Chain A
């Protein structure tokens, strides 16, 4: 997935859409908006980022999980099988992005890229509601997908790539 930081206005529609679509318990979120101010007054620069699990290619969360509950789905999406998860918290501790949380029911929960929608050919909830259309989703192995086309065209960054997890969330700059 790619997020255009030049278009994002920080409205948090994506956050609410995700909470509604995925029945996220009150007080929790799977995606969130970060506002970064950079520079020296009066030369300030503002960046909005809609962040979520990076569905890393080399995910420590999958590696650390003692039961195999955290795993890659076909296509590279990282998900948690609820009734295999024991709630040990190893994956939460292992994620440098702190993208996971323990669901009040006990298992660990996080962004699934709305796999249930994607399987039906729809866009993830956050992507589909964004009023500025700043998110691009798709299969990176398919050169014609929205995300492949936009990362070819635009400059982008990933967050803390030096943590070594090969994050797959691209921020267009």
Chain B
């Protein structure tokens, strides 16, 4: 058999033996971004359809948490930076060909927007909330009169944010596992699904929970389809992508990915949601908790495995 043996003299920290430059901060940031994008999308969407009274958790309660999620996500992104004192350089330019750049800018717009939305609905969480100063009250009611406009912007920005979490990775041609255009839609779907799960967890009305369980079922189906589609694409692609897929088809990520992410984080909650919709007795919180767990683990595994997939030695 013809063989090739490569010995490299390079041993740079975090680069060799395989790339490990992004640790927990980036997948955690992608998870929080996706979750917030999901919640904000549903809030905007049901505001535009005038369903705020039917789905109060989605429109009013859940978005109150999104500024915290996004703030935490930005904080994790900041933690990941190795040259922290210069972080402001991110906001002195916009570079459209760099997903990191336009993603950071999207967050810069959607975070304050989510905070305003939260301020408009803070009474849902704290019924006796009082803004105290008239100026603040005036500002809040001024924004309240533009709610529909804000909902439109929220729907658009949340879709951009959701898809960005995938494009950030898929734009790297150097990492064959990430380099597929399926990753954007896949992360968006997963983000919407975790958003729906968050809403189900917070909702007190069975009717609203069932509505979002139905939505979540659809999203999980799309996700499963995209995952299979992604691996089919890899298997039919170049050697580097075949190798990348093999990490999941017999390689070291097979068990955690198919067992924990696809099994425990997608299939099981889908089964539980069907059972609940059929009025079987299952605690309503189990399925969404599993979806959130699956979404988080999915991003951790993909971020880690992607850095291990490579072109050269």
Residues of A within 8 A of B (CB): 12, 15, 27-29, 32-40, 51, 60, 63-69, 83-90, 92-98, 100-102, 105-108, 159-160, 162-164
Residues of B within 8 A of A (CB): 1-16, 19, 21-22, 80-87, 89-90, 92-93, 95, 97-101, 104, 171-175, 238, 307, 310-313
Q: Chain A residues with Cβ under 8 A from B80's Cβ? A: 88-89
User: Top 9 A-B pairs ranked by shortest CB distance?
Assistant: A87-B82, A87-B83, A106-B83, A66-B101, A32-B10, A96-B174, A66-B100, A101-B12, A37-B5
Query: Residue on B with the closest CB to A159?
Result: B312
A37 lies within 8 A of B81 (CB) = no
Contact residue among B13, B19, B238 (Cβ-Cβ distance under 8 Å from A93)? B19
A60 lies within 8 A of B172 (CB) = yes
Q: How far is the CB of A110 from chain B (nearest CB, A)?
A: 10
A63 lies within 8 A of B89 (CB) = no
Contact sample, A vs B, 6 pairs, CB 8 Å cutoff: A33-B9, A40-B3, A88-B100, A90-B100, A105-B83, A107-B82
A25 to B27, CA, bound (A): 29
Q: How far is the CB of A77 from chain B (nearest CB, A)?
A: 20
B83 lies within 8 A of A65 (CB) = no
Given contacts A66-B98, A102-B14, contact A85 B6 (CB under 8 A): no
Known contacts A29-B9, A85-B89, A93-B21; 9 further A-B pairs (Cβ under 8 A)? A29-B12, A32-B9, A33-B8, A38-B5, A64-B98, A65-B98, A107-B82, A108-B82, A162-B238
Q: How far is the CB of A76 from chain B (nearest CB, A)?
A: 18
Q: Chain A residues with Cβ under 8 A from B173's Cβ? A: 60, 94, 96, 163-164
Q: Chain A residues with Cβ under 8 A from B99's Cβ? A: 64
A87 to B11, CA, bound (A): 20
B311 lies within 8 A of A163 (CB) = yes
A28 to B312, CA, bound (A): 19
A66 lies within 8 A of B15 (CB) = no
Q: How far is the CB of B169 from chain A (nearest CB, A)?
A: 9
Query: Residue on A with the closest CB to B1?
Result: A40
B15 lies within 8 A of A98 (CB) = yes
Q: Chain A residues with Cβ under 8 A from B172's Cβ? A: 60, 64, 93-94
A87 lies within 8 A of B81 (CB) = yes
A102 lies within 8 A of B312 (CB) = no
Q: Chain B residues with Cβ under 8 A from A100's Cβ? A: 15
A60 to B171, CA, bound (A): 9
Q: Chain B residues with Cβ under 8 A from A29's Cβ? A: 9-12
Given contacts A93-B22, A94-B172, contact A39 B2 (CB under 8 A): yes
Q: How far is the CB of A81 from chain B (nearest CB, A)?
A: 10
A65 lies within 8 A of B84 (CB) = no
Q: Chain A residues with Cβ under 8 A from B89's Cβ? A: 67, 69, 84-86
Q: Chain A residues with Cβ under 8 A from B174's Cβ? A: 60, 93-96, 163
A89 lies within 8 A of B5 (CB) = no
Given contacts A90-B100, A93-B174, contact A32 B8 (CB under 8 A): yes
Q: How far is the CB of B24 from chain A (nearest CB, A)?
A: 14
A39 to B203, CA, bound (A): 65
A27 to B16, CA, bound (A): 12
Query: Residue on A with the closest CB to B175?
Result: A93
A85 to B19, CA, bound (A): 19
A160 to B6, CA, bound (A): 15
Given contacts A27-B11, A101-B12, contact A67 B93 (CB under 8 A): yes
A88 lies within 8 A of B81 (CB) = yes
Q: How far is the CB of B16 from chain A (nearest CB, A)?
A: 7
Query: Residue on B with the closest CB to A63?
Result: B97
Given contacts A67-B92, A86-B89, contact A102 B6 (CB under 8 A): no
